[in-house]
Structures are given as structure tokens and as C-alpha cells.
Structure 1
């Protein structure tokens, strides 16, 4: 459907006021009011609830707003793709990941993706998990691979899987000595209280995995006394491999460490504690065929960690 001057309606919705929108658009208020009335007449529905101040979108208005946002994004994507073709530029796929996940994913997925899309240039945006949400909201990246964000106002997601959370520690530690619990056959660790005075290497407390663990500690009335906070899972693995503490990590973040022979890995709880991993992207955004192919390859990659069918 062709909508004339869609930015007029989008501005009214964002400003929640016809007069403020008119100022933003350098239009007169009567003209913008007439525009809205004609638009509603054409569509046959009320788009704004005028009984509220500031204005609010009706249910039909919310649907129409989402449509216009998606149309605007598709228009920009179309012109960008056509410009790339004209200029013979390579199409670009922007992917957001945390540094450790990028180091783990790309060596497995790129060799499968590149033969299918040899002309696509992959740009990796490696950032801390909280920053990835902002990159997706601002359409800087096509999608990111991360935990499900708490605020989904502007984002959509596809669940990849619920990964087991592993407790890892050096095999020679007194609490683990004699326990045969390798990465591919982990035992359940049932003595979490014994870790209260051990050094525990944790991600920041506002990150999804840390929140899950702090909630687990609270339920079990466990109060760790020695927490070392890092934003890098690789740091956590390396410290655990040097017998400098215990770490809690999602299992896929451990698979490529060269120190697996030094580490014992354990699940936590029954059923085992898990943390959801998802593909996150802008709501109503456009996923190119290359983006969709990369996402599908990522889902297939994570299937190898699916020990119990827990998607």
C-alpha cells in the first residue's frame, strides 16, 4: 500500500501531539490535523485516540505504525542494495556477538556460510552483551546472538536453545579431586554450599547469566564471599584452568578452550540450570537471504549442544 508522507504519521505518533509534530515538520497544525483525518478516512479506522492527552495510538494505529516503520526500513534497505549493485559493492552482513561467542562461532560457521554467499562481506560487531541490545535497536547490526533481552519493545528474537550452565574448576582442586566429570559427560554438582568461601569468577551482576546464578544462590541460601567479576568468559576459563577459582559458564563457551584436559565440568541443579540463547533483531526489520542463512546455520551448529532436546 502506498502511503503519502508516512513521516507525518510517524512523527505524530512519536511526539504524541499534533502541534508538536507540526513544529517538527515545519507544517501548520490545521494542515497536519487534516492530513490525519484524511488518512483515517482512507483506511476506515481511527488511528489516534483523541480522548487522551497526550495522544495515544489505537490498536489499529499501533498496527499501522509498525507497518510504516517496516516499510521505511525496507525502503532504506532496497536503496542500499541497489546502490551496492550499481557500485559493484559487496553486500554486507553485520552480526553482533560477544567476543567469546564470536571466537567460538565463526570458525565453525563461516566455512559453511562462505561457499553459499561468496560475495557477502561479514562484519563482526564484538561488544559486551548490554551493548548488543543497543546496536540491534539502532539497526547498526542485522542481528545479534545473545541472551534474550529483558526489554523487547523494539526487538524480536528467535530462541536457538537453552544451554546448560556449567560449573568449571581445575581437576586438582580439593573439592574436585577424584571426580571424573569431563566436558562431554558432566556430573551434577550437588555441593554448591562448599563454594561459599572459594573464589568464584562471575560475569557482571546485571547480565542474564549472573542474574540466574544469584537467584540460584538466593534460593539455596548461599552467600559467596569471594567473587571476582569479569566481562570476558575467556578470562574466566583461563583463570579456572590455572586453579584460580571456579567459573559458571554456558557450555558452548567452553568447547574451544585448549584447557579442557585440566578442567572438570558440572551441571547445576535437577533439572540442570539453563540459560536461553537467541538470535535478536530489530522488530519489523528485514532479514536478507544471507542473514537468514547464517541464522539457520547457527541454529544447526547449536544442535550439537542439545543434550536433552531442551529447545
Structure 2
């Protein structure tokens, strides 16, 4: 069922700009303009008019886009119903952090006890890559760490919890003997650790955004030993004294070779469950989302 031309009009209506719509659709602007012209000639009336440099829907355009959305919903529900025959189906999930993988090791077996024939496909991606996949609807769900729910629609993004971000250093660091458990004031943090080697997450990650904001606030330029999004590698390097870093609370382990401290004021990131647009969930997929939310409820108590 080829409905891509309906998506063309909906994208133009959302972007209000032919060039931006063409970029998102990965088609040429001229091809998109030609299609719109042909469609308007077929219908016999314009679907858009130009106002202050934007393409705005005409009354006919509003009717057309409303109908287009209904057709796409019918198509998606049809495909979902077909896929769900005999409780068979497929969910694609992207995750960005260790906390998500840990959660899924418990959520997926519970879900499979209800729907044993459902296929769950999990992929680990960086935050920018996963965000792009969700916005382009190449994946159903994102279980992710983020600094904000933007650029997702509020109704599609569930905030599962606020996760504290901690400062990590080797347990044999001189500071741990002076201050075994008290939070570190941010101003003192800069003064005490300005000469340390920092192991930083890559640009665009939640931890890197928070770290860069902290450095900018205190006009602090850290000595960055390396940049990596591998939590495991970072923890190993911290434990052997190679440097210090920032870790999400879910990635820490009490009693291990890495000491973790809260900062004052505390740093937080969000744990999100994000659904792609135009995804009509059947009963099985609604259950998966509910099990995910329930997994995080005890974490907040």
C-alpha cells in the first residue's frame, strides 16, 4: 500500500517550507513542488497559500491532511493487526545507556511470558543517532538518557525518572580519604580537580552536555585525556587511576574501585521512554510500554 505521497503533503504542512520538507523526505525540492502542483491541479484547488514566507494550509488543505492522517492510521493499524495474528509481532527498540540495557534484561522476559512469539529487536545507539531514528520513524521505541524531552512531542515522551549524575574518581584518590562521603560543592570541585585528567563522553551525549555546562559556568577548561561513550572502558580507566569522569547513577556500583560523589547543586539527566509518531499501539505493545514504566516506579521510591 503506497501512501508516501500522503506523507509528502503532511510533511509540507508540518514544516511550512518546501525546502525543509524536501530535506526531511530526502527528495528534491523540484520533485516535491511538481507533485504538489500536479495534485492541486487534480483536485482543482490550492492546498497551501503563502503567508509571511510560510506555506499555510487552505481550508481544502486542512480537509486533505485530516483525511491523509486517517488513511495512514488505518494503514498502520491494518499492518499491526496482520502482524499480531497468532500473537506474532515485532517491536524495535533503541537504547542509549547502560541503564536501558539493564532494564530491558528484565522487561523483555516479562513481556515474552505474555507474548512468546513476539520479536523484540534491540539496538544501542548514541543519543543523536537514536533521536534521528525516532524522528524519522525508523524505530518504534527509544529508552534513552537525555537532557530534555525536546525535540520530541510531549505526548510521545514519558519521563521515567530523574537520574542523578555523579562525579567519579579512583577509590585510592587522596580526596576520598579527606572526604569519604560528603557531596562536593561545585566551586570546590573546580578548585580541587582542575589539574586532573578528565575522561569525557563524546559531544552530544547527556553526560557531556552537563559537563560542558559545568565547565562553562566556572570558566574551567579541563585537561581531556580521552573521549568515549563506553561506560565500561571509562570505569576501568578511572579505577586504574587514568583520570576522573561523570557517570549516571545507574552506571555506578557501590563498593567497587570507583568512588562516586554528588555535586552541590546536584546534576540530573532524564530517563525517557519515547514512541515514534504515527505508531498505533496494539495490546501487546501497550503492555510492553506499561511494563517499562512499572520497572522504573520502584526506582523512584
**Pairwise same-fold verdict (TM > 0.5):** yes
Matches within 5 A, 1:61-140: 65=65, 68-69=68-69, 71-83=71-83, 85=85, 90-98=88-96, 100-140=98-138
- Structure 1 residues 179 and 301: CA distance shift in structure 2, 3 A: farther
- Aligned: 1:172 with 2:172: yes
What is the match of residue 212 of structure 1?
A: 210
Partners of 2:95 and 2:130 within 8 A in 1: yes
Partners of 1:93 and 1:121 within 8 A in 2: yes
Partners of 1:165 and 1:251 within 8 A in 2: yes
Equivalents in 2 of 1:206, 1:135: separation in Å? 15
What is the match of residue 142 of structure 1?
A: 140
Equivalents in 2 of 1:208, 1:121: separation in Å? 30
Q: Over residues 141-160 of structure 1, what are the superposed CA-to-partner deviations in whole Å (9 max), with x where a residue is unaligned?
A: 21101124543379931111
Equivalents in 1 of 2:151, 2:297: separation in Å? 27
- Structure 1 residues 239 and 227: CA distance shift in structure 2, 3 A: same
Gaps of at least 5 residues in structure 2 are: 19-29
Partners of 1:155 and 1:283 within 8 A in 2: no
- Structure 1 residues 99 and 222: CA distance shift in structure 2, 3 A: closer
Match of 1:292 among 279, 283, 286: 286
Equivalents in 2 of 1:64, 1:160: separation in Å? 37
Equivalents in 2 of 1:243, 1:304: separation in Å? 34
What is the match of residue 228 of structure 1?
A: 226
Partners of 1:142 and 1:287 within 8 A in 2: no
- Equivalenced residues, count: 280
Matches within 5 A, 1:32-47: 32=43, 34=44, 36=45
Q: CA deviation at 1:175?
A: 1.9
Equivalents in 1 of 2:65, 2:34: separation in Å? 20
- Aligned: 1:249 with 2:260: no
User: Which of the pair is proportionally richer in helix?
Assistant: 2
Match of 2:274 among 270, 280, 283: 280
Gaps of at least 5 residues in structure 1 are: 38-46, 182-186
Equivalents in 2 of 1:53, 1:180: separation in Å? 60
The DSSP-based 3-state class of the residue aligned with 2:222 is: coil
RMSD (Å), alpha carbons:
3.6
Partners of 1:154 and 1:282 within 8 A in 2: no
Q: CA deviation at 1:72?
A: 0.8
- Structure 1 residues 289 and 241: CA distance shift in structure 2, 3 A: farther
- Structure 1 residues 77 and 8: CA distance shift in structure 2, 3 A: same
Matches within 5 A, 1:192-211: 192-193=189-190, 194-211=192-209
- Structure 1 residues 50 and 207: CA distance shift in structure 2, 3 A: same
- Structure 1 residues 8 and 74: CA distance shift in structure 2, 3 A: same
